[in-house]
Structures are given as C-alpha cells and as structure tokens.
Amino acid sequence: MRLTFLICLLATERGCGFSLRAAFRTSRDSLPSLTSAVSPRGTGMGMGANTKGGTKKKNGKVKQPSNPPYDVSASLLRLDKKYEELQLAAAKTLQKEFDSDDDLVTTEYIITARASPIVADWVPVAQLCLARTQADAHASEGAADPTLQAAVSLYCRELSHVAGMGSRLFQSVARNELQYAVESMDSFHKHVYEVVLEGKNENTKNENVMTKTEARSVLQLEVDVVDKSEIKRVYRKMSMAWHPDRFVGKDLTDEEMKEASVMYSKIKLAYETLESGIREIGKSWYESLGGRARTDFHGPVRLSPISEAKALLEASKVSSAVVGLDPEMVQGFVARSQAGV
C-alpha cells in the first residue's frame, strides 16, 4: 500500500492538543478535473443539482440560472490548499513562547462513510481539520459537538465525491443515502491504523507485539475462520492446556516450565490481537476495533442543511478544510467490508 505515515508535530501542551499528520491524504495532483470527476447520483440535505442552460420565456428571452453548477473538484483543490494553511498556522502557534487566549485550537479528524447494503460497514474516506477558539473547542462533546456536525454537513458534497474517488461502490449510492461518522486522528491512529494496517497489538506498552497472521498461527486457526465464538473456544482450550498451574508439582525441568509459561503468554497475546478485529454477527467490525477503550468514535452524524451548517461555522468563527484519503487505503477497507472480516 502506497501509504507513508508522517507525524509532523505532536502538541502535548500549550492548549493545542492536536497532532499534524499528512499520512492518509490523497495528493493534490491526484484530484480529478471537472470533466473526469465522480458524480454520485441523488440529491438531498441541500445538495440539489443545478440544471444547465436557461429557461426560455414566452417573449423569447432566456432566463439564466441564478446559481452556476457546484464545482466539487475545484472546491477540493481549494480545500487542499486551505488544509495546509491551517496546519502551518497551527505549527506557528506551537512555536510561540507564551500562550494567548486568542490562540486557536486545531484538531484533525477521520471521517468514515457507509451506505447499507452496498457498503454496510464504516469505511474511512476523508480527513477533516478544524481551527476554532479555545472556548468552542473545550465545549465540544463528541457526537453532540455542533461544530463538528456542521463541518460534516457543510462538506457533504465533497465527502460524497472523495468516497466515490476511493471506491466505485460509493458512486452508485445516492448522496443523501450516505451516512458519516467522525473520530479524532489520535484515536484512529491508535485503534485502527496501528491494528489493521500495521498489524500491531493495541497494547502499545507491550513489547511483545504480534501481527494477526502470527496470532492465527499460534492459535492454529485457518485464515477463513472469522467466527468470534470459535476463536474464543480455541483460545480457552489452548490456554487451559498451557496454563502454568497445570504444571505445578509435575516432574518438569526449569526449562520446560519456562517454555510452558512463554507459550501461555503467546496464546493470550494471540487472542487479544484477534479479539478486537473479528466482526460479530450483526455488528460493525470497524466499530469493534479498540473495544471499550475506543470512546472517540461517533456516528452516524446527524446532517443539517448546508446553509445552516455554513451559518453556524461562520458565527462560531471556525476555519475548516477537508481532504480525501489515499484511494488505496479506502479500497482496502471496502474490501474488508465486503468480505465481512
């Protein structure tokens, strides 16, 4: 996968609480021209299409349309540039020696989309950046954050477009049938990127990191075994067989006791590695990643009309931008969604 994860800056003080990451964004050069742009069918939530040309009146005069067609591709190019500007401004704020009440808090989010039954599970499609006042940022409450909801609503046309750029399946979905969810960049990196794309165990403090392929080998599971109850059954059987207490009082050497203890630890780590990444019947595999520790994933977002969303962001003096994710990354998650794994 053509994906390079770059941590530009990590702010842990001075009230900025964000990390600048350009790992997942699609490059500006990859954005299509208007003539080759994806145009998902359907309208809704203030997304109505404008008709081309004019309407001929009885007197022979042509009435020109009041608004030109919305150019999504041009908008994405502008937003890509604005995204970089917001990141540069945030970096300058971090370099300041003293804090100021006027400093903006810049945060980044991953936006996921789904459209049942075509794409039933959540798929990461875009990256959102918000720069807002400290008061507004501190008042945010996840799914109930009006600023975050407004930003997703404002960019619904761009989000539908980049989703279609990432996977053709989204192109067949009416724009008003798409649902969106949001998650902070930090949460996405910890619970999704590292676990799914890098194959790491979520316990980053544990030096014994195991990939999912290695975990299946330890538990002697075939690749096509995805039933969570079956995985748990195998784990319990093997953990009981290798539990250190079973070997107490037996005529074993210290080396054999150590081997049993190591094997038991591997079995436990293998189960923990697989447990968060196997979909239960009727449940979202994507949402299950991270388990209870993943509290910063919110969706579906309740969309509002574009005009209302724009007015709210302007009134709150919020600067924002959205960019699409690497299409290869989007396609990878779509494939997992279709496979049910």
Let me know whether 169 and 244 are in one domain. no
Q: What is the pLDDT of residue 140?
A: 65
Residue 248 binned pLDDT confidence (cut-offs 50, 70, 90) = confident
Let me know whether 260 and 303 are in one domain. no
Angle at 296 (CA atoms; ends 115, 272), nearest 5 degrees = 90
Q: List the domain range (segments joined by +) for residue 220.
A: 212-275
Average pLDDT of the residues in 244-259: 84
325 pLDDT above the threshold of 80:
yes
Tokens 């794994």 found at: 341
Kindly report the CATH number assigned to the domain that includes residue 264: 1.10.287.110
Let me know whether 108 and 231 are in one domain. no
Number of Cβ within a 10 Å radius of residue 65: 12
Let me know whether 185 and 247 are in one domain. no
Cis peptide before 117 (omega within 30 of 0): yes
Chain centroid offset of residue 89 CA = 24
Let me know whether 24 and 96 are in one domain. yes
* Contact predicate 104/132, CB 8 Å: yes
How many domains would you assign to the chain?
A: 2
Let me know whether 97 and 23 are in one domain. yes
Q: What is the pLDDT of residue 103?
A: 73
Q: Which two tokens stand for residue 257?
A: 């006791």
Q: What is the pLDDT of residue 145?
A: 85
Cis peptide before 40 (omega within 30 of 0): no
Please report how many Cα atoms fall inside a 13 Å half-sphere around the Cα of residue 206, on the Cβ side.
14
- Ranking 29-43, 75-89, 309-323 by mean pLDDT, the lowest is 29-43
Q: Is residue 43 part of a domain?
A: no
Q: Is residue 60 part of a domain?
A: no
- Ranking 121-125, 134-138, 298-302 by mean pLDDT, the lowest is 134-138
What span, in angstroms and rounded, lies between the C-alpha atoms of 294 and 340?
A: 21
Angle at 72 (CA atoms; ends 68, 75), nearest 5 degrees = 95
Let me know whether 11 and 152 are in one domain. yes
The per-residue pLDDT of the chain, averaged, comes to 77
Residue 31 or residue 185, greater confidence: 185
What span, in angstroms and rounded, lies between the C-alpha atoms of 17 and 10?
A: 8
Let me know whether 240 and 120 are in one domain. no
Residue 32 or residue 328, greater confidence: 328
Q: Is the pTM above the cut of 0.75?
A: no
Q: Is residue 65 part of a domain?
A: no
